[in-house]
Amino acid sequence: MSLHCQDTQQLLQPYLDGEFDGDEKCALEAHLSGCKTCQSIAQAELSFRKAMRESLSTPPLPKGFRDKILRALDESDERARPSWGRRAAPLAGAFAVAAAAAFVFGSQVLWPVHDESVLVRDAVRMHQRNLPSEVSSDGLDSLFAGRMEVPVRPPPRLHGINADIKGARFSRLLGRDSAEVVYNVPGHRLSLHIFAAKSKVDTRGVRREKVGGRVFFVGQDRGYVVVYTQKNEVGYVLTSDMQAKQLMKAFAAELADPPTRQLPRHQPQR
Amino acid sequence: MTDPSNKRADFETEALPHLGALYGTALRLTRNERDAEDLVQECALRAYRFWHRYKPGTNCKAWMFRILHNTFVTRYHKRRREQEIALAAADETATQTESINWDVVSQQPEFSDAMTAALDSLQPEFRMAVILCDLHELTYKEIAEAMQCPVGTVMSRLHRGRKLLQQQLREHAVEQGVLRANDPIDLAAFRDRKNSQ
């Protein structure tokens, strides 16, 4: 097989990338050895690759990043460990699980579990991912200022449950942009998504409940409680392993506050 | 299929050493540190969840890149259509063949910044192909698997991506006075010109 310049130049890149062997390689090398033009193009290609490798240094991993990944893996292991609320019990165990749930929640039985609720599934998924915050409570103003469709500043304080704002990030929930605020509540983690709810949120598969004069939608999945409510076309989704009643009560009180009042800042938890 | 009881240890030994390569690539894909961190964390968690699907003895780095690419595409899905349109447009411009000696051009200050900027300006599909091939030395087959496209597509993405990079860096070199417009150089010509100045 003998090659012309045009063929050679077309095959030059895969050749230089080491993709050819046998006949193709021999034919290319035979042409290159006798053709100055193709040789100089090959030389130019090689010099470009070298220049690229030398000028694009690999950036170092951000400080503490590997540890962050290891912690995320720990949490993933933790979640994968079988427990009554986390791993779906096969049919034989279903009744035992139901009984345990009823016992644990007493009068607040959150039953049945609706796997079909998009709202619950999405909220729990985001809560479990526990992605890093972009800012601590001090940076909330600058992070969300003018960048969200809905008012986020100041974020709800949730004093009723001793919540402390841990941080916040831009996020997505139900296919909408949201501001995700993460709180530390003694013994629990709580995340709150705030988003524009001009279009209706799909509340199929969740229970409707009225607490403190406010309508909430409540669901549960994998041991987490998800509570949704809205006010003035702003949607709020709370996800936590706390009790639903407690969350609804605190949040109903929160939204009853005059929205324009300047609220004190919180210190991030160390 | 890996042994489930050693999952964590195997993952840390096989997959985590590639965090640096993943982060570097994510940074070039997302063009900002915050998104790159998010992308790599999500990629690592997905890889861990699907670790049972990794075949020991195969190229783990390529497998991780596949997950990174998938995660990136899913996250930035909205922007994909725009990219495809831009890809079609880029097709027309990246056909020039020249023999520039980049050893000379790359000695100039700011070349590294210009290279980074040029790479960042490429459409993500080109960028990813070039990064995987030129910086991480994956084979075309591995790149095709990582990007879930035919090998032929890898070839054309690489070809166009590199040509577009060269075109931009050539313009930069002309601006810097290292190259004359319409005048491909070699080392001897550059030295001659320098001496005559």
Closest CA–CA distance from residue B112 to any residue of chain A (Å): 5
In the predicted model, what is the mean pLDDT of residues A120-149?
78
B164 near B124, Cβ under 8 Å? Answer: no
In the predicted model, what is the mean pLDDT of residues A113-136?
76
Instruction: Kindly determine whether residue B16 and residue A134, on different chains, have CB atoms separated by under 8 Å.
Output: no
How many CB atoms lie under 10 A from the CB of residue B2? 15
Q: What is the pLDDT of residues B42-96, one digit of tens each?
A: 999 999 999 999 998 889 999 999 999 999 988 875 555 555 545 545 444 444 4
Question: For residue A160, which of A241, A243, A218, A247 has the smallest C-alpha distance?
Answer: A247
Q: What is the pLDDT of residues A30-75, one digit of tens each?
A: 999 999 999 999 999 999 999 999 888 788 899 899 999 999 998 8
Could you say which of B100, B105, B159 has the minimum Cβ distance to residue A13?
Answer: B159
Interface of A with B in 122-141 (CB under 8 A): 129, 131-132, 134
User: What are the CB-based long-range contacts (under 8 Å, 24+) for A29-33?
Assistant: A30/A2, A30/A3, A31/A2, A31/A3, A31/A4, A31/A5, A32/A8
In the predicted model, what is the mean pLDDT of residues B114-121?
92
Pairing assessment for the beta strands A234-240 and A224-231 based on DSSP bridges: antiparallel
Question: For residue A203, which of A227, A181, A178, A187 has the smallest C-alpha distance?
Answer: A227
Half-sphere exposure of residue B145: CA atoms within 13 angstroms, side-chain side: 12
Chain A neighbors of B103, CB-CB under 8 A: 47, 50-51
Half-sphere exposure of residue A260: CA atoms within 13 angstroms, side-chain side: 0
Between B117 and B187, the more confident residue is B117
Q: Is the pTM higher than 0.90?
A: no
In the predicted model, what is the mean pLDDT of residues B5-26?
91
Between A261 and A189, the more confident residue is A189
Could you say which of A54, A62, A77 has the minimum Cβ distance to residue B37?
Answer: A62
Question: Is the pLDDT at A227 greater than 90, yes or no?
Answer: yes
DSSP bridge pairs for A224: A221
Q: Which residue of A has its CA nearest to B103?
A: A47
Phi, psi of B193 (to 5 degrees): -65, -45
Least confident among A96-100, B142-146, B181-185: A96-100
Between B86 and A120, the more confident residue is A120
Between B79 and A163, the more confident residue is A163
Instruction: Assess B11–A contact: CB distance below 8 Å, yes or no.
Output: yes
Q: Which residue of A has its CA nearest to B152?
A: A14
Task: Give the mutation candidate from B50, B102, B170 for the A interface (greatest A CB count, under 10 A).
Answer: B102
Instruction: Assess A241–B contact: CB distance below 8 Å, yes or no.
Output: no
The sign one gets for the Cα dihedral B157, B162, B163, B169 is positive
Instruction: Kindly determine whether residue A13 and residue B158, on different chains, have CB atoms separated by under 8 Å.
Output: yes
Phi, psi of B63 (to 5 degrees): -65, -40
Q: Which residue of A has its CA nearest to B159?
A: A13
Instruction: Assess B42–A contact: CB distance below 8 Å, yes or no.
Output: yes
Closest CA–CA distance from residue A47 to any residue of chain B (Å): 5
At residue A88, the pLDDT reads 44
- Helix (H/G/I), strand (E/B), else coil: A58: coil
Q: Which residue of A has its CA nearest to B116?
A: A56
Cα separation, B125 vs A59, in Å, equals 21
Q: How far from the centroid of its chain's Cα atoms is residue B35's Cα?
A: 17
Please provide the average confidence, as pLDDT, over all residues in chain A: 78
Cα separation, B165 vs B82, in Å, equals 20
Between A180 and A146, the more confident residue is A180
Q: What is the pLDDT of residues A9-30, one digit of tens each?
A: 888 999 999 998 888 889 899 9
Distances (CA, A) of A119 to A69, A181, B157, B186: 27, 17, 39, 63
- Helix (H/G/I), strand (E/B), else coil: A13: helix
Could you say which of B49, B97, B116 has the minimum Cβ distance to residue A41?
Answer: B97
Please provide the average confidence, as pLDDT, over all residues in chain B: 82
Peptide bond into A154 cis (omega under 30): yes
Question: Is the pLDDT at A148 greater than 60, yes or no?
Answer: yes
Interface of B with A in 145-164 (CB under 8 A): 155, 158-159, 162
CA-derived radius of gyration, chain A? 28
Residues in chain A: 270
Q: Which two tokens stand for residue B124?
A: 């993500």
User: Which amino acid is residue A124, in one-letter code?
Assistant: V
Concatenated DSSP letters of A68-79: HHHHHHHHHHHH
At residue A257, the pLDDT reads 59
How many CB atoms lie under 10 A from the CB of residue B12? 15
A252 near A211, Cβ under 8 Å? Answer: yes
Between B5 and A157, the more confident residue is A157
Least confident among A73-77, B108-112, B177-181: B177-181
Peptide bond into A112 cis (omega under 30): yes
Instruction: Kindly determine whether residue B116 and residue A55, on different chains, have CB atoms separated by under 8 Å.
Output: yes
Chain B neighbors of A18, CB-CB under 8 A: 139
Could you say which of A17, A18, A61 has the minimum Cβ distance to residue B20?
Answer: A61
Question: For residue B124, which of B169, B91, B79, B155 has the smallest C-alpha distance?
Answer: B79
Question: Is the pLDDT at B97 greater than 70, yes or no?
Answer: no
DSSP bridge pairs for A215: A210
Chain B neighbors of A14, CB-CB under 8 A: 140, 155
Between B134 and B84, the more confident residue is B134
Could you say which of B49, B119, B162 has the minimum Cβ distance to residue A76?
Answer: B49
Buried b (16+ CB within 10 A) or exposed e, B37-54: bbbbbbbbbbbbeebeeb
Tell me the count of A-B CB pairs closer than 8 A. 115
Could you say which of B21, B106, B158 has the minimum Cβ distance to residue A55?
Answer: B106
User: Which amino acid is residue A30, in one-letter code?
Assistant: A
At residue B191, the pLDDT reads 53
Q: Which residue of A has its CA nearest to B135?
A: A53
At residue B92, the pLDDT reads 44
Question: Is the pLDDT at B158 greater than 80, yes or no?
Answer: yes
Instruction: Kindly determine whether residue B139 and residue A18, on different chains, have CB atoms separated by under 8 Å.
Output: yes
